[in-house]
Structure 1
């Protein structure tokens, strides 16, 4: 490895957006290295380069976007010391290398390039072709601290620039679906994007790949998870009060969120291709759910007592005779992906699961998959504050009542706004809910073991079994 690759091999696993934590890094290779407005330090400031970095772990390869800043060794500004990658020799000179996305002097360069629509060269900056107001420049950026799988920059109170750290060849669904929803009150308006070419998986030449998206900044926006958690906290303070009578009742917002979700699904169905799953495709989808269940049971023995109930739900799903319409959907839908503004609910982050290839994320799916994701999120919002509480046993029925109350409100709002009625598709919805809960079991076992009881208790409740937290051995 080169000196720079050795620095990246030590630095990348420590970043919150790195997906391969816990596995040894076997090799790091810089596959692409493109200058952005000057690769080396000069009279106009630090140099800047966009890197496509391949990280080899466990016999596989994952590619990441790393945008580096370059300055003379020892000349890194004090306020950027926290994002230093290290010092190495580049172009015959000693340079200090750092994460350029934390440097407003360099990120302003990205904004100016998008505003100009600098559309030639290996790194291409695109503006939306539709008539729109000019993109303003001259604002300093701040890194949004809540991001995990990506890095998002906020420019003033005008724009956000989301940089996609994990790279898969092709058009990112976040850009594709936001463009399809442009003008909708339920989505933030896109303004432009950055793309470069990377090699297609399995060969076959280079593919234009979305690496960043510039979008409208939403003023006065409150995260849906925060609003729901506040409602749960209010109810916990009055545990004998029904959820609909507590001061922080969330059901009205849940119903409006259901309506907004239906409107987005209808807009996506109008703008992008739709289809109907054949019986064979339906069985294939059920088989994939069963395979995920087998994998999860092997790794989390506490899931085994519910295996038969889950398999029965998947078998019922495979035997559904009614046509199952599919379309483009959000794909990773939960309360953290929506915000409440003064105009209503807005849906964010349409990229789907970043660890899944883009081609798979772009496949049409049932809108019930998104509904199941949000219903699971209500359950998480209701239960997570009980963990470690001395009053957990007393609060468990309160949490279940809150989740049920808001699930019903969300589904009612969805159906009233013209979406399919979830109550009339219980078999399909149950299968998607179980599948999501199994995914959550694996995620929590590997990342937040103390939260593992949330999806396990939910599965136990859906299966009509004793609470999983009373009988769960630790994951293997």
Structure 2
């Protein structure tokens, strides 16, 4: 079907009053703890094939310091007593002029009526699922994901619906990138089965964007970060899985280059100089926030100079953009890569901007360090609060995992010479960001990025040396 058109929401004032407190309690609400102005942009009416409820999606513009975005709020409206209390948001008062009765407002994300209506309106090959047995997954920060069991007796053919909460104009990369990769024959991404678009008013015009996507469910899969942490805690080697993961990341970059080619940079651009300047800017920002990092000034300067001396950096291409162990699943003896959406509050253009593929590799290297620290690599006690220091089994476990990941990536994409300098610079950039974040939020973990700075910077004066993981 075509994109869903937004109509004016006649009960917007009443609905917004009802939704205000509820939105503040949602993990995905982007303006917690500050005064936010909520405005109803409009509503989308969907049709439940079983006609059990009034199904609609309310689009709420949320404006607060640093925030100006349109949020998607799926709702079902039901008569009191006609439903279970689960997902109850509140009730709309009786419509006295028309004699209408009070109406209960339900969070639509887990309501079978909303799910049936969504699947009916969506584009794509479709999914044969049982909406009556759907289950909302917990723990997600930015969106809402719903497990849709397959309609067969064994539950085969299950799928996952991701409801995008913060909407943006344009094709959402979490829809278009997996579609392009799957169509190109790359098997390490869950195949998209259905997607839904809408058109809504914005700044005196109209824009179109994705509301959500249904993708194939990987049965028995484990989150990559949780898996790595568990293996680290048992002292179990991660190297074989890391090597395979490196090969998968190289394959992803190859498939992205083929499926979503980008224009090559114009001749004469000093791309190495731009990378070096960005590294210096990141360091200046980090030192301003954390003055103790000033001791790394000479090392950062040497690495920035080595970066600037690279004659011909690899061409930018479409990348994942936020790759780490939490963005991959291990299931069916295979790694799967997910969550190509990027930062939900950033414009689509920023999330799809071509970049060095090595930035994804740097993110995965840093994630292995974190898995070693959080998992404990043989340590005991409360791992969420223990102070991490760069000694003991954590370091060796992480070093072997990083080396194996690079070894696997090298099979599909060489990492040596100038490429190694760029990778080290990108990993350093991420570690500097982590140092500031940890100092502000988890000071007992500051040792994780500081250990990475100590590891990366002494080699800055030897640019031809391969990065030691």
Q: TM-score range with shorter-chain normalisation?
A: 0.7 to 0.9
**Correspondence 1:422-441 to 2 at 5 A:** 425-441=419-435
> Is residue 2:123 matched to residue 1:126?
yes
Displacement of 1:32: 2.3
Given that 1:383 and 1:399 are in contact with CA atoms closer than 8 Å, whether structure 2 keeps it comes out as: yes
Take 1:370 and 1:219, find their aligned partners in 2: how far apart are those partners? 26
Given that 1:47 and 1:71 are in contact with CA atoms closer than 8 Å, whether structure 2 keeps it comes out as: yes
Residues 184 and 391 of structure 1, relative CA distance in 2, 3 Å threshold? closer
TM-score (norm 1): 0.81
**Correspondence 1:210-229 to 2 at 5 A:** 210-229=210-229
Given that 1:104 and 1:141 are in contact with CA atoms closer than 8 Å, whether structure 2 keeps it comes out as: yes
- Structure 1 equivalent of residue 128 of structure 2: 136
Take 1:337 and 1:29, find their aligned partners in 2: how far apart are those partners? 33
Residues 317 and 52 of structure 1, relative CA distance in 2, 3 Å threshold? farther
- Structure 2 equivalent of residue 397 of structure 1: 392
- Structure 1 equivalent of residue 6 of structure 2: none
Take 1:6 and 1:307, find their aligned partners in 2: how far apart are those partners? 53
Take 1:293 and 1:75, find their aligned partners in 2: how far apart are those partners? 59
The match for 1:455 among 449, 457, 460 is 449
- Structure 1 equivalent of residue 145 of structure 2: 152
> Is residue 2:398 matched to residue 1:411?
no
Query: After the TM superposition, which of the residue ranges 435-444 and 358-367 deviates more from structure 2?
Result: 435-444
The match for 1:48 among 45, 55, 64 is 55
> Is residue 2:90 matched to residue 1:86?
yes
Displacement of 1:369: 0.5
> Is residue 2:59 matched to residue 1:65?
no
Displacement of 1:21: 3.1
Displacement of 1:266: 0.6
Take 2:388 and 2:162, find their aligned partners in 1: how far apart are those partners? 42
Take 2:401 and 2:50, find their aligned partners in 1: how far apart are those partners? 58
Q: Secondary structure at the match of 1:110?
A: helix
Q: Secondary structure at the match of 1:126?
A: coil
Aligned residues: 427
Which residues of structure 1 form unaligned runs of 5+? 119-124, 129-133, 236-247, 466-476
Given that 1:104 and 1:142 are in contact with CA atoms closer than 8 Å, whether structure 2 keeps it comes out as: no
TM-score (norm 2): 0.82
Which residues of structure 2 form unaligned runs of 5+? 1-11, 151-157, 460-469
Residue deviations 1:299-350 (CA, integer Å, cap 9, x gap): 4445444355445434433442223211111111011111112241111111
Take 2:449 and 2:94, find their aligned partners in 1: how far apart are those partners? 49
Residues 52 and 437 of structure 1, relative CA distance in 2, 3 Å threshold? farther
Take 1:303 and 1:86, find their aligned partners in 2: how far apart are those partners? 51
Take 2:416 and 2:314, find their aligned partners in 1: how far apart are those partners? 13
Displacement of 1:455: 2.4
Take 1:65 and 1:327, find their aligned partners in 2: how far apart are those partners? 31
> Is residue 2:10 matched to residue 1:3?
no
Take 1:95 and 1:356, find their aligned partners in 2: how far apart are those partners? 36
Given that 1:151 and 1:162 are in contact with CA atoms closer than 8 Å, whether structure 2 keeps it comes out as: yes
> Is residue 2:161 matched to residue 1:161?
yes
